[in-house]
A and B are shown apart, each in its own frame.
Chain A
Amino acid sequence: MAVQLEERPQAQTEAPLLEVRNLVKHFPITRGIIFSKQVGAVKAVDGVSFTLNRGETLGLVGESGCGKSTTGRLILRLIEPTSGEVYFEGRDVLAMKRDELRALRREMQIIFQDPYASLNPRMTVADIIGEPLEIHGLVKNRKERDDRVRQLLEVVGLSSYHLRRYPHEFSGGQRQRIGIARALAVNPKMIVADEPVSALDVSIQSQVINLLQDLQEEYGLAYLFIAHDLAVVKHIAHRVAVMYLGKLVELAPKKELYNNPQHPYTQALLSAVPIPDPTIKRERIILAGDVPSPSRPPSGCRFHTRCPVAEEICKQVDPPVVEVSPGHKVACHLVKPGQPGPRLIKNPTGVPAGEPGDQKAS
């Protein structure tokens, strides 16, 4: 039995660790108390497909309410999907029975956004991090558990003397580390990081990001990194997927996405990333209006109501996903393989071309 964290060789197999196909979650809107009937549905996630390789970080970005977090939770089956397929190492996650699912919990974990809500205030650090060890039978007794918890605390940069403390005695960044240690306790292969740094101070953000990167290096972890901060994603992700109103609009390797964004929405998002250099002047794409309600999404391309270059077809037909270059997929009528796509402005990121990734998350 593998009791300890193991080093795993990185990305040696071609088969993806995680494969998501056409994932859909519609939350029913019901009316009436006893004889409730469904009067509509919030289409939180509406046909999302992607893969995640071993040791890779896939950034999932989008505005609040676009379904990023729901996607993460669907994969872990914290929420039951309406339809779709999720495969983890080739195993059908959605078909799993209770016992299989419990076993899967050791391989897929989650880190939450709010470090205050994600730890049980009535439990000590030892109990919080030790619980997964106990329920999966990874330790034999209390002493073994505490030793292991001490080790995990050191791994995430906390002191082992924090063992008997309660969550409220820690700062936000420290709590986030406790949450990370808890996820690491079962020695997972993949972690869904649901906006793990957006609730933290900027100075703490980079520490936590660096910790996540160190852990990835050491243990070959794969991350599904959910964020709305493109700067953070640029720092940590290998590939980036952009989501709008429950659908993926663009998915590409990081450099490709930041240098050559195709979808108008991606370009608008990138143009909104602040540059910490007041001397750089650049154009910004300001989108008009609000995000439409996911309970009544627009017809055709969901972005057409706010898209500055939308055409007639965009209002009627849901755009198919096209691969414009290897690994770069876009869902937009105006993007065609082999042809230059729509360019709203010359340089959406505002950073002089040829220096991608120099804008560190800090």
Chain B
Amino acid sequence: MALRNDEEKVNRVASSIAQKNRSLVRWGVRPAGDSYWALVVRRFLRHRLAVTGLVVLILMSLAALAAPLLAPHDPNAMDLFAFSAPPSVEHPLGTDSLGRDVLSRLLFASRISLSVGLGATLINVVVGVLLGGLAGYLGGKVDSAIMRFTDMILSFPPLMIILVLVSVLGPSLMNVILVLGLLGWPQICRLVRAEILKLKEQDFIQAARALGVPDGRILLRHLIPNAFPPVLVAATFGAAQAIIQEASLSFLGMGVQPPTASWGNLLTDAQSMGVLGSMPWLWLPPGLMIVVAVLSINFVGDGLRDALDPRLK
């Protein structure tokens, strides 16, 4: 191989051109270390509510993870001496009508509720990005087919269809995650498609095509990463929604089944007027957890949206 020869020739040519250009090279370049994500992190950190939300979420997740260590009692163990007991030293948040410790149940419930949020969102994102990406990139018939299917899913009243599906599949944690995951993707799908339609016409995609970059790689390396920021924002809001939907389902008795605790089925007790009036320790804490978790997620979503928006740079 005449590779060495080539190399010398090229080096010679390159250095001759480089020499000519040297005088042009030394224009100032903006300070280093400004990768896109570094900028995003900096902008996010300026958003006070979002940072607070993130901290709260991290604390909640840590508490959920460490539930077995933190919980003062077994969440399903009954204290035969304290049925429906108000908060005390032994039971900081009191006990329910079966004598179970509310604080322990609340901690274990966080595990369930947060994993429903996370799991459903993951499914949403994977399905949504995949379908939206295909629809946007391939266009034509594929696009029409996927988008009409999406419209169909969107036209179902969500709580009804979820109730029906869960009752057909049987209420369990896995099924709740699956059903919420498989029904929540249309928003993300539409978002990704719109984003890809916009990006597809950009010159850098044309350049990639002109360079012979295969379609799959264009989709994965050029289109989807650039369509990702709005997806991230939509996904956070989706997670909040999934938590709320799980709570509604469980409240109606169609979600996570007792004795497993989730924020929603802890609220079930509040269905009775007596509990609602005289035993606030049973429903106030899980209600608050839901509100705080959803609020925090939404704040993080807001922060991300602002941080990722290139126009605010």
Q: What residues of chain A have their CB less than 8 Å away from a CB belonging to chain B?
A: 1-7, 34, 73, 76, 78, 101-103, 105-106, 108-110, 112-114, 117-123, 131-132, 135-136, 151, 154-159, 162, 165-166, 168-171, 173-174, 179, 182, 185-186, 207, 211, 214-215, 218-219
Contacts and interface: CB of A to CB of B under 8 A. Distances in A.
Interface in B1-30: 1, 3, 6-7, 9-11, 13-18, 20-22, 24-25, 27, 29-30
Interface stretch (B42-50, B126-134, B163-171, B212-220): B212-220
A34 B203 CA distance: 30
B69 interface: no
B207 A6 contact: no
A6 B6 CA distance: 7
B305 interface: no
Interface in B158-212: 202-204, 206-212
Interface of B: 1, 3, 6-7, 9-11, 13-18, 20-22, 24-25, 27, 29-30, 32, 34-36, 144, 202-204, 206-214, 217, 221-222, 225-226, 310
B230 to A, nearest CB: 14
A239 B1 CA distance: 39
Contacts of B204: 117-120
A139 B274 CA distance: 75
30 contacts: A4-B9, A4-B10, A5-B14, A78-B210, A110-B206, A112-B203, A117-B204, A118-B206, A119-B204, A119-B207, A120-B204, A120-B222, A121-B226, A131-B208, A132-B211, A135-B211, A135-B213, A136-B212, A155-B13, A157-B17, A157-B21, A157-B24, A162-B29, A169-B29, A182-B207, A182-B211, A185-B211, A186-B211, A211-B21, A218-B17
Contact of B29 (A78, A122, A170): A170
Given A159-B25, A169-B29, A102 B212 contact: yes
B224 to A, nearest CB: 10
Nearest to A160: B18
Contacts of A108: 210
A362 to B, nearest CB: 15
B212 A135 contact: yes
Contacts of A211: 21
The interface residues of chain A, by DSSP majority, are classed as: loop
Contact of A105 (B3, B210, B310): B210
Contact of A117 (B3, B202, B211): B202
A118 to B, nearest CB: 4
Nearest to B223: A120
A110 B212 contact: no
B207 A118 contact: yes
Contacts of B30: 169
Contacts of B7: 4
Contacts of A185: 211
B25 A151 contact: no
Contacts of B211: 105, 109, 131-132, 135, 182, 185-186
A1 to B, nearest CB: 8
Contacts of A103: 212
Contacts of B10: 4-6, 151
